[in-house]
Structure 1
Amino acid sequence: MLFYSTLLRLAGLLCLSAAYSTLSDDTLKSIPGPGDDFDVKKGSILAPILQTRVSGTPGNAAVLQHFVGFFKTNLPKWNLEFHNSTSTTPTSNGKEIPFVNLIATRDPPGAQVGEVGRLTLVAHYDSKLEPKGFIGATDSAAPCAMLLHTARTLDAALTKKWESIATDGLDELDEQKGVQILLLDGEEAFVSWTATDSLYGSRALAEDWEHSFHPAMSTYRNPLDSISLFVLLDLLGSTGPHVPSYFKTTHWAYKHMANLEHRLRELGEFKSSPNHPSKLAKRKNKKPRDEPRFLVDAEKGDDAFIGGFVEDDHVPFMARGVEILHIIPTPFPKVWHRMTDDAEHLDMDTVEDWTKLVTAFVGEWMELEGFFDFKKEKRKVHEEKTEFGIP
């Protein structure tokens, strides 16, 4: 059975890499940015996350409730689950600390348990205990906000695609893929990073999912097997990030994201670019400058992968055979684990660029070209704000 499951996984990866569907230039140019929703003081998505949120504290619970409220209000078709665990920590004096992971899933209508492969988007939402009052804006408030915006931006297109499949009677065997967002608790160490003082939520979730079997003869053996790709965002939001490609087996997916970054830059859609129209307009010398890259390893050869990686929430999943795309800068941002990792030190142009890039990547993975109607969605949001008296 394990051999059969492994063959299915390898076949699935080959199929995904071969059948990847690109978005048009018009679609890329139309992807909405988060706008006021990412205002660090009053934005409806980002601002509520920018607080201390150490696992087991009221701030942590408040941020979790913010996530739940966001999905219930904006994305009622997503299924929400809580994964609860407890553990002692080096600072808890023998007391069990609660850790709560939020799992938000959008599968095709009528999908059967064990028959859906899922693109899994991941960020941790807890913050570090020390220094006292640490916010963790890049670590990882901004990545969490990016995932919420991505889900909201793509939701209507997913609905339209799946309705079209049902109406047109297309072959559903090729369409059993969904999207899953994991907002994980307890990534941070309470004292210092060790195998037992870190990754509390992800370790518990990976272990439970390993032993949560789907019905016999399912395409996917368990929830871990259902993960087509585990895309982990961390430490995003500082200027000038350099994100390597860490894993040879998912380099093809990294290259697709890197290609999207290149196209968005060429289309003038990256606000952090020195050649963005808004920056060119302010410069006396209009000559384009060298274009930087977030994803710096698009041309990396197979012989350049030497096995190094950054320990993070993916580790318990990777140890169980899940394919990982880790989007984390090396070197880390200068604000890493410092009090300056706060709202004021976020580079909002970079935050918005990452948000658009992740949204485009998911849109391509889910083959949503032709199913977007951003003008209609913009009108809907405007009408809802007017109804509730929101400026």
Structure 2
Amino acid sequence: MSQRLLAWLLALTALSISPLAQAHKPSDAYLNLQVEGTQIVQRLDVHLRDLDRELVLDRDDDGRLQWAEVRTRWDELQRYTAERVRLSADGQPCQDTADGTPQLDEHTDGAYAVLRRHWTCPAGAQALAIDYRLFADSDASHRGLLRLSHGNAAPQTAVLVPGAATAALPLNAGAAGAGPSSFAGFVLEGIHHILIGTDHVLFLLALLLPAVLVTGVAGRRESALQWRPMLVEVLKIVTAFTVAHSVTLALAVLDIVDPPSRWVESLIAVSVVFTALDNLRPMLAPRHRWRLTLVFGLVHGFGFAGALKDLGLGGGSLAASLLGFNLGVELGQLSLVALFLPLAWWARSTRFYQRGVLVGGSSAVALIALAWVVERVFDVTVLGS
């Protein structure tokens, strides 16, 4: 086996077992801007978990944030976020005043601080710009989800990447169509979401690890046609996952079905454990694994829904964001398959793949996911924050 192949396989194995950090919902903040002429009312919802990481709100270090610990630091929270979320119009800074009333709100993944400000932009200004740098230095995965409203007009949405320039946003309802495309932004957010979603990635990789071992007719010589049974198996798995999570993603975002987030995340971890164990000691016939994917894919769809659901969209804005986000998830999923499949197919007949990658990788995935199950069911920390 060549050194190049060994390096690729080691990288593949590391991809399977490296993410020891918490596999919770990715870090999002929700920025709502209500525009009336040059007056803007801001509501910024930021997860207490993220703020605690930056400002050490849990002073007694007992692993639980008390209301008193948050309330007494409210002025500091206001200053911290105000320095990292700034508005300007036509190149001139908008002036702001803080609403200092402490407030918390529950989102699908826990408690968020609600920080309100009032902005006054220069008279006659037309184009609004947002300088968004929240957690830019500490969390590359963080995203701000923007909802911009003008009176009763349909809101616009955009995904804010910390430190990146934003396109001009309209300051009046008549120019509302001139803003950035929420569809394109949520396509990128869907790709980003699945690529940093450790539990979703490990579930997909655990499904694909044995797929490359599916062969054609026994005893037949290796030929170019022998990859077809493997491709059929992969296609069934990917299609089942796509159909299942698309259905429940839509049901959750549309508020038709709303299961508790804690149990959704716990079942996602269980799905990773079961799939990895099935690689080690098959409990299902290989031809039935797509059905396993279909069932567990329904659970993963609820897990994808958190960001869109918390944004509070409706009508056309929701439809565009939902479609773009789901398309992004599919593109991210296909990129993982495209990266994994050629390497795994090339190495499938080696002992290193069959023992080191399939058995060793599945064992590591099962252990990591089992730790997630304990964390999510019992609300304890096993793998660290």
Please, what TM-score do these two structures have when normalized by structure 2? 0.30
More strand as a share of residues: 2
Please, what TM-score do these two structures have when normalized by structure 1? 0.29
More helix as a share of residues: 2
